[in-house]
Each structure stands twice: as structure tokens, then as C-alpha cells.
Homo-oligomer: A and B are copies of this chain.
Amino acid sequence: VTYCVGLFLRDGLVFLSDTRTNAGVDHIATYNKSFVVEVPGERAMVLMCAGNLATTQAVVNQVIEGGSQAGDGQTLFTVESMVGAAELVGAAVRKVHARDSAAFKSQDISFDASFILGGQIKNRRMRLFQIYSAGNFIEAAIETPFLQLGEHKYGKPILDRALKYDTSLADGVKLALVSMDSTLRSNLSVGLPIDLTTYEKDTQKIAIRRRIAEDDPYFSALRTSWSEALRRALAVAPGPPWDPGVV
């Protein structure tokens, strides 16, 4: 299982993905699930993926490297807009579906691939999209400033409660990491290390690109701080005005 989250903030974008790939509990591997497309100063994008690994790798290859199935030869390095980039990913998913779906169906394998794509091309708006396995897509918005892939439920409440469009990039990083931590704790098939990428608006350059492992001092400090803060929150929260132990 995968967990990826993308934040669409006033000051920029935050991307966070886990690296666990598994085909059964006895077949586990570590794969990067977030890919950077960057021409510094001209364009910067991040593509994160969830689903069948062969399918997502085929899509990533097509949209980043081009290749025989890419049709008109466009890649994320050549598209003229972020909408064009999302359309390119959607078209690549449909091509892979056309190629694989009959074989999948004959073996009862479900076609499963979804993507978060965000970034900015010079003189254009910064945007964040989620592309579904059917190739269609939706966009994050000021009222809905985050998108998630995969095992999304455990990490959603903290984002629902605390994340706003005008949250700072640093607080966005904190919230994305706390959301990931909640997911890691609740679902063993989402696993460390995790990949964090940040982008500041109107720079067309990736700001931070870090792989965070078990021993990362910042992630450890954040986890400890958050657990202590929750214990304090429980302590200061008002108790019930009736005694729950009195009959």
C-alpha cells in the first residue's frame, strides 16, 4: 500500500510519499514514488504515484522519458502548461490501460494507478492535480488545499482540522509529516523511508528534496513533540461533567 500527500499552499507546494511496495507481506521492496521534473527557472514539477508498480513505472517512463507509446513525443519537460502536464499523464495512463487491460482482465488483476502532479511553469500559475486510473483528473483548490493517494484515511483528520491554504510551508511540512506518521503507525504496509519535496511559488526550482529514514533527527523530534502535545491536549481537554464511573 502507498500513502502520498500533496499540499497546495499560498507560498508553495509540499509533496510527501512513502516508499513501501508490496505484493503480499512476504514480497516487500523499497521504491521511490515521487519524481522530479525540473528545468531550473523555467519549470519544476513533482509526480507522485500509487497503484500497480508495473503500471505506474510505465506511465512515469512515458511522461518523463517519452518513448514509443508517447504519441506526439511530448514529455513533462516539453508541455506548455500544468493542465497540459496533467493531460499528458492522463493520456499515458489510458495508453497503458489499452495495452494491459485485456491481459489483466484475463488474470483477474485490477487496473490500479493514480497520481498527484504539481508544479509551475514560468509565467503560469502554480497548480496541483490528482489523476485517476481512468486518466481524468481534479485540481486542488483554496478550499481543499490537499490531495492524497492510497491509504489516505488515517492521515486525513489532522489535515482536515489544521491545514489551510495560508498555512506556511514550514507548518505544511510539519502537518504532512504528522499525517504520514499517523499512517505509518496504523498500516504496516506503508513504510519508511519517506520522500519529501517542497517548492516555493514563482521560483520554478525545487527547494528541498530529502529522503527521511527511521533515524532522521528532525522526524524523530517531531514525532516525540507531537505525541507529547497530544498527551497534554488530552490532559487539558475538559472532562465529562458527569462521573462516568458512578452508577
Contact = CB atoms under 8 A, between A and B. Distances in A.
Interface of A: 11-12, 14, 40, 153-158, 160-162, 169-175, 178, 182, 185-186, 198, 200, 203, 205-208, 210, 218, 221-222, 225-227, 229-234, 236-247
Contact of A157 (B154, B232, B236): B154
Given A162-B231, A237-B222, A244 B154 contact: no
B153 A240 contact: no
A94 to B, nearest CB: 29
Given A161-B185, A162-B231, A245-B200, A226 B218 contact: no
Given A174-B237, A208-B244, A222-B237, 9 more contacts: A153-B154, A153-B186, A157-B182, A161-B185, A170-B244, A200-B244, A225-B236, A225-B237, A230-B233
A234 B173 contact: no
A216 to B, nearest CB: 10
Given A153-B153, A173-B244, A246-B207, A226 B237 contact: yes
Contacts of A232: 229, 233
A173 B173 CA distance: 32
B218 A174 contact: no
Contacts of A178: 237
Contact of A170 (B11, B40, B240): B240
12 contacts: A157-B182, A160-B186, A171-B234, A175-B234, A200-B244, A207-B243, A208-B244, A218-B238, A225-B236, A226-B237, A230-B233, A232-B233
A120 to B, nearest CB: 13
Contacts of A160: 182, 185-186
B154 A156 contact: yes
Question: What are the 3 tightest A-B residue pairs by CB atom distance, in nearest-first order?
Answer: A229-B233, A153-B153, A157-B182
A197 to B, nearest CB: 10
A194 to B, nearest CB: 13
A14 B244 contact: yes
B234 A174 contact: yes
A12 B244 CA distance: 9
B229 A161 contact: no
Contact of A240 (B200, B218, B229, B233): B218
A170 B239 CA distance: 6
